[in-house]
C-alpha cells in the first residue's frame, strides 16, 4: 500500500538563478570600548597617511626638505635622515621582507586585531560608513528612506553623501601622489590651477618645420637670474643655445630648484658663481655621481677655492705669482694692495687698496689693507691668486 504525499512546486534546474539577488546591508551604529578604540586607530592611521607628506626635514641647501619623498626624477628615496639610491635597493627589499613577515606573524597570532583595526580596507570602510551615517542617519532611518518615496530633501542628502565619498576617494589617491612631489607646492598649484597653467606656459613653442631634427644631447645650464655679477649673462646663454641648436644640442637653463631634474640631462654647465658651501657644489657633485660631464666639476671647485694649493701649484710650475702672505686672523693682517677673500669665487671680494680700506664679505669684515702686498684673509688657506676661482 502506497501513500501519496504532496509535493511542492520545485523549479527545474534550468530555471534556477545563478546568483543570489542583491540585498543591501544597513549596519547599526555601535558604541563601547572597542568601538572607541577603533576610532582612535582610524584617526591615527589616516592621519599618518594624509599628513606625512607635509612633514618637513632640513637636509641642507639644494636638497628637498620633505621628510618622506620618492624622488623619481632624481632617482632617490628620502625617509627623514635616510637617503636611498637605486644601487641601495636592497635596503628597500629588506624592509619589504620584514613588513611581510610582520604581517604574516600578526595574522597568525592576532588576525582579528589586524583585520578588525588596522587593515586598510577596514579603516576606509569605517570612514565611508561614518559619512553615510552622518548624511542619511542610522540604520532604521536609512531603511525607511530607501523603502519610501524620493523627496528633494532625501535627494540632497544622498547627493551630499556621494559628493563626500568622491572627495574622500580623490584625496586618498591625491595623498599618494604627494609622496612623489613637494606636497605644499603641489597642493597650492592644484588649488589655484597653477599646475596646469605652469605646464601650459612653460611648454616650448616651436615652429613645425620639417627640417627640424631631434636633439642628440641636452645640456643643462645652471644660472641665477637674480645674480648681480654672473659669469655669463642671459644674452650669452641664449646666444650659445642658438649655436648649440644648429649642432643638434638642446640647451635648457635651470635654477637651484631643479636639482631633482638633473638626471634628465646629458651634461651640466654651471654659470653661477661657484662655491663649495652652496648649491653649485651640490649640483656638480650630483652630476659627477650620475656620470655626467660637468663644468666645473667638484674637484676643480675644491682646488680653485684653495688658494694655498694654487700658490704651490703655480710656484711648482715656475709661473710668476704676486708676493703673497697667508694670515691667521684679522689682527695679524698687514696691508696689501689687493685683498682676496678665501674660498670666494670669480673675483668675489677682491679689492684694490691704494689706501687703508675695509673689505666686507657676506656681511662681515674680513680684511683691511694699506700697502703693496697680496693678502689671504682668515679662514682659509688661500693665497697667491687674485681670484677665488681658477
Task: Give residue-wise pLDDT tens across range 109-128.
Answer: 888 888 888 888 889 999 99
pLDDT category of residue 161 using cuts at 50, 70 and 90: very high
Residues 42-51: tens digit of each pLDDT: 999 999 999 9
**Whole-angstrom distance, CA of residue 375 vs CA of residue 307:** 11
Question: Does residue 364 surpass a pLDDT of 50?
Answer: no
The x, y and z cell numbers of residue 378, run together, are: 682668515
SS3 sequence of 248-283: CEEEEEECHHHHHHHHHCCEEEECCCCCCCCHHHHH
Residues 163-191: tens digit of each pLDDT: 999 999 998 988 888 898 888 888 887 77
> Mean per-residue pLDDT for 283-292?
90
| Extended strands (E) in the chain | 68-71, 76-79, 82-84, 217-222, 249-254, 267-270, 294-295, 324-326, 338-340, 351-352, 357-361, 364-369, 374-376
Domains, the chain, in order of start with CATH, read 33-191 (no CATH), 217-304 (3.40.50.2300), 322-376 (no CATH)
Handedness of CA 187, 189, 193, 198 (dihedral sign): negative
Position 59 scores a pLDDT of: 78
pTM of the predicted model, to two decimals?
A: 0.48
Residue in 352, 386, 350 with CA at minimum distance from that of residue 366? 350
Percent of the chain with pLDDT over 70: 74
Amino acid at each position: 500500500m502506497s501513500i501519496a504525499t504532496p509535493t511542492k512546486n520545485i523549479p527545474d534546474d534550468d530555471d534556477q538563478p545563478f546568483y543570489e539577488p542583491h540585498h543591501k546591508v544597513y549596519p547599526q551604529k555601535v558604541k563601547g570600548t572597542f568601538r572607541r578604540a577603533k576610532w582612535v586607530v582610524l584617526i591615527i592611521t589616516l592621519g599618518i597617511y594624509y599628513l606625512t607628506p607635509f612633514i618637513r626635514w632640513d637636509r641642507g641647501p639644494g636638497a628637498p626638505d620633505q621628510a618622506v619623498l620618492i624622488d623619481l626624477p632624481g632617482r632617490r628615496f628620502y625617509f627623514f635622515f635616510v637617503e636611498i639610491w637605486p644601487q641601495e635597493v636592497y635596503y628597500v627589499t629588506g624592509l619589504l621582507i620584514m613588513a611581510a613577515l610582520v604581517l604574516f606573524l600578526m595574522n597568525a597570532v592576532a588576525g582579528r586585531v589586524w583585520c578588525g583595526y588596522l587593515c586598510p580596507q577596514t579603516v576606509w570602510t569605517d570612514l565611508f560608513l561614518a559619512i553615510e551615517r552622518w548624511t542619511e542617519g542610522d540604520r532604521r532611518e536609512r531603511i525607511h528612506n530607501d523603502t519610501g518615496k524620493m523627496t528633494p530633501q532625501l535627494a540632497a542628502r544622498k547627493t551630499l553623501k556621494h559628493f563626500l565619498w568622491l572627495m574622500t576617494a580623490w584625496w586618498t589617491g591625491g595623498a599618494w601622489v604627494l609622496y612623489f612631489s613637494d606636497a605644499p607646492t603641489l597642493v597650492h598649484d592644484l588649488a589655484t590651477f597653477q599646475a596646469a597653467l605652469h605646464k601650459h606656459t612653460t611648454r616650448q613653442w616651436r615652429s613645425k618645420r620639417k627640417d627640424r631634427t631631434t636633439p642628440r644631447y641636452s645640456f643643462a645650464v645652471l644660472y641665477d637670474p637674480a645674480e648681480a655679477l654672473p659669469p655669463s649673462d642671459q644674452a650669452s646663454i641664449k646666444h650659445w643655445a642658438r649655436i648649440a641648436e644648429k649642432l643638434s644640442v638642446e640647451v635648457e637653463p635651470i635654477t637651484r630648484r631643479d636639482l631633482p631634474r638633473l638626471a634628465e640631462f646629458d651634461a651640466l654647465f654651471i654659470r653661477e658663481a661657484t662655491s663649495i658651501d652652496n648649491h653649485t657644489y651640490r649640483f656638480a657633485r650630483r652630476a659627477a655621481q650620475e656620470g655626467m660631464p660637468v663644468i666645473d666639476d667638484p674637484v676643480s671647485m675644491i682646488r680653485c677655492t684653495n688658494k694655498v694649493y694654487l700658490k704651490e701649484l703655480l710656484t711648482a710650475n715656475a709661473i710668476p705669482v704676486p708676493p703673497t702672505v697667508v694670515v691667521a686672523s684679522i689682527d695679524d693682517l698687514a696691508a696689501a694692495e689687493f685683498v682676496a677673500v678665501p674660498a670666494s669665487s670669480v673675483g668675489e671680494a677682491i679689492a684694490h687698496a691704494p689706501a687703508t680700506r675695509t673689505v666686507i664679505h657676506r656681511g662681515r669684515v674680513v680684511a683691511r689693507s694699506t700697502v703693496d702686498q697680496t693678502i689671504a684673509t682668515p679662514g682659509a688657506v688661500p693665497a697667491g691668486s687674485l681670484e677665488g676661482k681658477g
